[in-house]
Chains A and B, each alone.
Chain A
Amino acid sequence: MKIEFREVSFSYPDNPVLDSVNITIGTSCFVCLIGLNGMGKTTLIDLISDKLKPISGEILMERDDGSYVEANSVENVFALIPQGINDPMYLTVRETVSMARFDPRAIWKIRLSEHDETIITESIELCGISDKQDRTFFELSGGEKQRVWLAFCLAQDKDILILDESLHALDFPSRIFYFHLLSSLAASGKGILLSTHEIALAERYADRIIALRDGHIVYDGPPIDNLASLI
């Protein structure tokens, strides 16, 4: 699985956001997208997730077998956590994660398969929330909610995870746990794109850093010192 930006530009009326961006995001790599507010991080993720359309250029999604995902049908290609997510307050952790196993082709699915249940259980365990499975969102802390959404992403069993998350609600140990987990997921083969302001943690855990400034990519490569001065 590979997501490729070719000369992608996007602008709101009188406000250019991205200018001729070229990047490729593949599997087995933890990519951190950094940049100040308003520099196009969320726009880039919205373009991938088909919420916005590029003004020019194209975004190609290539499957492992060499075929391409058709335009306007990016459903079910990668797992996404968008910004400003609505917590389903009265659902339990397990119910929420179970929805990741939704199958658009199954019209009236009453029960999840054993395979589905295994994946759900594994994802919940991996995110360290096994003991909170039966709690509702009402009873979770900010850090725990973040883990539920990550488990939700993992349970979709996709090669690439796109995370547009504000981690500001989390305390420092939770952030470290989060980055550490993402880094180990990448080591086990997942492709992860995380938009973040945590430059210090990105330097330590990411495999690759993409820095955006004024609609251009000012840095794309392995973590280096002094990233903060670039953006």
Chain B
Amino acid sequence: MLSGVFSDDYPIIHTVVWDLRVPRIAICLLVGSSLGLAGALIQLATRNPLGDPQLFGLGGGAAIIQSLSIAGVVVLNPWSLISLSIIGSIATAFFITFFSSKAQISQSRLALIGVSFSAIFVALSMGIFAEARVFSQQTIHFIGGSMSNRVLDNVLPTLPFILLGVLMVIPVANRLNLLNLGDRIAYSLGGKPTQTRVIAMTAAGIFSGIAVSLAGLVGFVGLVIPHLARLLVGHDAKAILFISAPLGAVLVLYADQIARLAFAPSEIPFGMVTTLVGAPLMILIARRL
């Protein structure tokens, strides 16, 4: 078995491992850590325990471009498609943050505007699918969130964006803690609350864009993970961000296993699994607010 993995003597094993399993695991880890980080950034930046990349519409730009691609309206190679999707998401995040600010960005405004934009983007994606008359497996997998039919070529274009996102998060991680005390105190301590929030939300846009580009619309991972992180490491923003990535990766990896094997040989979108786990949890959190 192992010899088949590392040599070309057993082409079937080689193909299964390197062309099917390894890319899929890599994508699972990438999508999970991106969603975990995006969720943590949103929850920290908005002080909203219900912060989630999908609920806040941050992946909107990516969703539109991916829908156009699935519908066949735009035809692009993987590099341009994924880059464009992520750039679209950055623009969306920037847009939502900009709309939430007058003098300063208030948390509740950000949440309400994000949710509204999210609804618009989902509606537009559906519209694009309907207009192009595609209701294929691919559409379901995009809406439900799925890692099937992805290859390593889809992963490489995300790497520069991951680097960019991480570089943006590091300088504001410490300042995100101060937002807990309210903007005026954060400001008086030199914590630049508005700038911090814009940077954190833009980085969240990058990570949401990566997740949407690779796996479609995946709900509730970004919501659940930061809460799990708080239970494990407490309330320091740096620790929450640090642990959210691996936690998200593990959750998505298991969700994808369940999605792939529970009804084998047919495969359900793994977003269904994460939603089934995440939605009840969200109801629990909301009841405690």
Residues of B within 8 A of A90 (CB): 230, 235
Report how many A-B pairs have Cβ atoms within 8 Å.
67
Instruction: Let me know if A76 and B184 touch, CB within 8 A.
Output: no
Instruction: Let me know if B184 and A104 touch, CB within 8 A.
Output: no
Secondary structure at the A interface, as helix, strand, loop or mixed, is loop
Q: How far is the CA of A100 from the CA of B177 in the complex (A)?
A: 11
> Which residues from 219 to 241 on chain B have a C-beta closer than 8 Å to any C-beta of chain A?
230, 235, 238
Q: How far is the CA of A39 from the CA of B238 in the complex (A)?
A: 43
| Residue of B170, B181, B188, B230 most packed against chain A (CB within 10 A) | B188
> Which residues from 26 to 57 on chain A have a C-beta closer than 8 Å to any C-beta of chain B?
49-51
Instruction: Let me know if A91 and B235 touch, CB within 8 A.
Output: yes
In angstroms, how far is the closest chain B Cβ from the Cβ of A133?
Answer: 15
Instruction: Let me know if A75 and B182 touch, CB within 8 A.
Output: no
Residues of A within 8 A of B230 (CB): 90
Residues of B within 8 A of A95 (CB): 235
B-contacting 9-mer, from A4-12, A106-114, A122-130, A193-201: A106-114
> Which residues from 124 to 161 on chain A have a C-beta closer than 8 Å to any C-beta of chain B?
152, 156
Residue of chain A at shortest CB distance from B47: A86
B-contacting 9-mer, from A77-85, A168-176, A221-229: A77-85
Answer whether A102 and B184 are a contact pair too, CB < 8 Å, given A108-B174, A109-B174. Answer: no
- B72 interfacial contact with A, CB 8 Å: no
- A218 interfacial contact with B, CB 8 Å: no
In angstroms, how far is the closest chain A Cβ from the Cβ of B104?
Answer: 9
Secondary structure at the B interface, as helix, strand, loop or mixed, is helix
Instruction: Let me know if B174 and A80 touch, CB within 8 A.
Output: no
Instruction: Let me know if B185 and A76 touch, CB within 8 A.
Output: no
Instruction: Let me know if A106 and B174 touch, CB within 8 A.
Output: yes
- B171 interfacial contact with A, CB 8 Å: yes
A-binding residues in B (CB < 8 A) = 47, 170-171, 173-175, 177-178, 180-182, 184-185, 187-192, 230, 235, 238
Please, could you name 23 A-B residue pairs with CB atoms under 8 Å apart, sorted by A?
A51-B184, A74-B188, A75-B187, A75-B189, A75-B192, A80-B188, A82-B182, A85-B182, A85-B185, A86-B47, A86-B182, A91-B180, A96-B181, A99-B177, A99-B178, A99-B180, A99-B189, A102-B178, A104-B190, A107-B171, A108-B170, A108-B174, A108-B238
Not counting A49-B187, A76-B190, A85-B182, a sample of 5 additional A-B residue pairs whose C-beta atoms are within 8 angstroms of each other reads A76-B188, A80-B188, A81-B185, A82-B182, A108-B170
